[in-house]
Structure 1
Amino acid sequence: MLKIALTKGRVEEQAIPLLEACGIDCEPLRNKKRKLVIPLGDDLEVILVKGGDVLTYLNNGVVDLGIVGSDVLDEQQNVGYELLDLKTGVCRFILASLAEYNPDEGRRQTIGTKYPNITKEYFAKQGKDVEIIKIEGSVELAPLIGLADAIVDITETGTTLRENNLKIFDWLRPISTRLVVNPLALKQKRNEIFPLVNKMKATIEEREAAKKEA
């Protein structure tokens, strides 16, 4: 049996149609109630976890595969496990602040973010030394109340930023959901893993082709 660590919430919701298109009955997942471990037939078991814990489960060998956002992989600086870009959860890292913010101001700036490693890397490439404040909640608050000069955050449509009178000053790296694998499982269960990966890949390619034709 293959075990998949699936990120709860939005990633989970977008993964279900993809799995169903691959011929997997996801009715137990759709009607899971409060269950966190959900068998999908005899060959697949889904474990619902927070995104930041997916690699922890992989690294400790308790799951074979994981479905998680690339933002988590980038922040944890561990992208070596990727098998497939699922083309869902597409959004982007941005630098944003109030309209009067000057990104080139000479003084040392304070940046609020949930992603300190990505933020540090971004400013280091620009040769800028900044103070980074890690925020777990609503990052948009930071410039509004004077906690930070600007924020590095994720946006899909920019609606939340606009509603809080924040402006995007730079677009950073893109984000999407990825299928990741435990390297040992890839060796031991390749005959189970690769047929699933191939089905997912074919389904994704069909979807992307349909989008281009639409």
Structure 2
Amino acid sequence: MSMLTIAMPKGRIFEEAAALLREAGYQLPPELDESRKLIIEVPEENMRFFLAKPMDVATYVEYGVADLGIAGKDVLLEEERDVYELIDLKISPCYLAVAGLPDTSIDEVAPKIATKYPNVASTYFRSQGEQVEIVKLNGSIELAPLIGLADRIVDIVSSGRTLKENGLVEYETIVGITSRLIVNPVSYRMKDKEIGQLVSRLSDIIAEKAV
């Protein structure tokens, strides 16, 4: 069987995805969770893992250096990479929302929206018939309305604690987010047997959890 190369994001998604793979019967070594290595081979399962930044996973898969990847739906919506989405893994649930300071209205002339999701934010506000100026930030998005850089932010919300601690409130929910298994189109054809088996085993576990 051909080796499957899987790009995985570091952090919470990685931990939940590794647990899901183990539940599906894959013998992953304990050091997979603790290693600082960026490439980890699991020869007994014919797998190789790349550990990457969440926003880069879909890029590795699109260019074929990874056959498969696990990426949040937020990344897939923002990046619009040439990959196939195979299954919803139902892990790391959260959502994208519009937030800002309480009891404030958007500047009607030139509203500014701070976000690390410029494509998603632009598409959303356009669909609402609103023309906005997008301010691209890479982190600490909550700071933008506090210092007057933006009227609103578009960001991931999980528990809502970060917004609350910074005195912000949610105004609108844009879309629910979970992590997805994605595949390179060429790999999907060339390694269909191995990928099909992985999808089947993961799908069975996800279905069991849903009952």
Same fold (TM over 0.5): yes
Quote how far apart the aligned CAs of 1:185 are: 0.8
Look up the SS of the partner of 2:96 in the other structure: strand
1:69 to 57, 68, 72: 72
Look up the SS of the partner of 2:130 in the other structure: coil
Aligned to 2:113: 111
Quote how far apart the aligned CAs of 1:80 are: 4.8
- Which blocks of at least 5 consecutive residues in structure 2 are unaligned? none
Is contact 1:96–1:150 with CA below 8 Å preserved after alignment?
yes
Quote how far apart the aligned CAs of 1:52 are: 1.7
2:63 to 54, 60, 63: 60
Shift of the 79–102 alpha-carbon distance from structure 1 to 2, 3 Å rule, reads farther
Pair 1:44-2:51 in alignment: no
Quote the Cα distance in structure 1 between the aligned partners of 2:89 and 2:82.
15
2:161 to 152, 159, 162: 159
Supply the RMSD in Å over aligned alpha carbons.
1.3
- Letter paired with 1:78: R
Is contact 1:5–1:65 with CA below 8 Å preserved after alignment?
yes
Deviations 1:100-148 (A, max 9, x none): 2224x53220110010000000100011111110111100000011110
Pair 1:91-2:94 in alignment: yes
Quote how far apart the aligned CAs of 1:79 are: 7.1
- Which blocks of at least 5 consecutive residues in structure 1 are unaligned? 210-214
1:170 to 143, 153, 172: 172
More displaced stretch, 71-80 vs 109-118: 71-80
Shift of the 80–62 alpha-carbon distance from structure 1 to 2, 3 Å rule, reads closer
Aligned to 1:132: 134
Pair 1:25-2:34 in alignment: no
Look up the SS of the partner of 1:187 in the other structure: helix
Q: TM-score, normalised by structure 1?
A: 0.93
Quote how far apart the aligned CAs of 1:56 are: 1.9
- Letter paired with 2:102: A
Look up the SS of the partner of 1:11 in the other structure: helix
Aligned length: 207
Quote the Cα distance in structure 2 between the aligned partners of 1:144 and 1:133.
14
Q: Percent identity?
A: 44
Runs of 4+ in 1 over 6 A off after TM superposition: none
Q: TM-score, normalised by structure 2?
A: 0.94
Is contact 2:113–2:152 with CA below 8 Å preserved after alignment?
yes
Quote the Cα distance in structure 1 between the aligned partners of 2:31 and 2:167.
42
- Letter paired with 2:205: T
Shift of the 176–109 alpha-carbon distance from structure 1 to 2, 3 Å rule, reads same
Is contact 1:108–1:131 with CA below 8 Å preserved after alignment?
yes
Deviations 1:161-193 (A, max 9, x none): 111111111011111100000111111111111
Look up the SS of the partner of 2:145 in the other structure: helix
Deviations 1:141-160 (A, max 9, x none): 00011110110111011111
